[in-house]
A and B are shown apart, each in its own frame.
Chain A
Amino acid sequence: RKEVEQDPGPFNVPEGATVAFNCTYSNSASQSFFWYRQDCRKEPKLLMSVYSSGNEDGRFTAQLNRASQYISLLIRDSKLSDSATYLCVVPRGGSQGNLIFGKGTKLSVKP
């Protein structure tokens, strides 16, 4: 299994839809996980952190399944502005400072 693996998409959804992305990771010792968002031709920015079973922030919910070694990101009531690439991020070797990024899942929200 790769260190971090994501479905590249693209996910094309209409406004208002609910969409979910999964990410699998190989290091069972990882304690924390992150979702970053990257807009086209921009730098990545932190979207959410996941330290235990999950985290919720408005329309965004991140969940962690340690047994199956995957994390998910759920976006409810999607907006046009949610169109971006979502990167799953896992610390390498348990080290909190050294982060490994997945290749990202591209989301396109259409009117």
Chain B
Amino acid sequence: DARVTQTPRDKVTEMGQEVTMRCQPILGHNTVFWYRQTMMQGLELLAYFRNRAPLDDSGMPKDRFSAEMPDATLATLKIQPSEPRDSAVYFCASGLGGLTGELFFGEGSRLTVL
């Protein structure tokens, strides 16, 4: 059963530390998304890739966040330095684009920055 895999599932770190989250999209999917979810803001789009090319990262704080797809099987989201306000659940999702609108989400990475 194909699924999006995210690591780590849970991460507790101290302010100022670097955090890297990884995602393995479903094989054959050409779109990859990073979302951040908090109670206050809901699901916020951070970055969007199509065929590994970044198409939209307007929702991502550029000074501390970076997103990359070094190859088709790996997407990374890095926060450096992390701050307490970055505490959230980070979801990676992949899809085929087009009209279906179906995104397949990973189980999320719960980040707590102390």
Interface residues of A (CB under 8 A from B): 31-34, 42-46, 49, 51, 87, 89, 91-92, 96-104
Q: How many residues of B contact A (CB 8 A)?
A: 24
* Interchain CA distance A49-B98 in the complex, whole Å: 13
Q: Could you jot down 16 A-B contacts, CB within 8 Å?
A: A32-B101, A43-B91, A43-B107, A43-B108, A44-B103, A46-B102, A49-B100, A49-B101, A51-B99, A89-B101, A92-B56, A96-B97, A96-B99, A97-B95, A99-B45, A102-B42
Which residues of A lie under 8 Å from residue B107 when comparing CB positions? 42-43
Most buried by B among A96, A97, A100, A101: A97
Which residue on chain A has the smallest CB distance to residue B30? A97
Instruction: Tell me how far the C-beta of A6 lies from the nearest C-beta in chain B, rounded to whole angstroms.
Output: 9
How far is B100's CA from A89's CA once the two chains are assembled, in angstroms?
A: 12
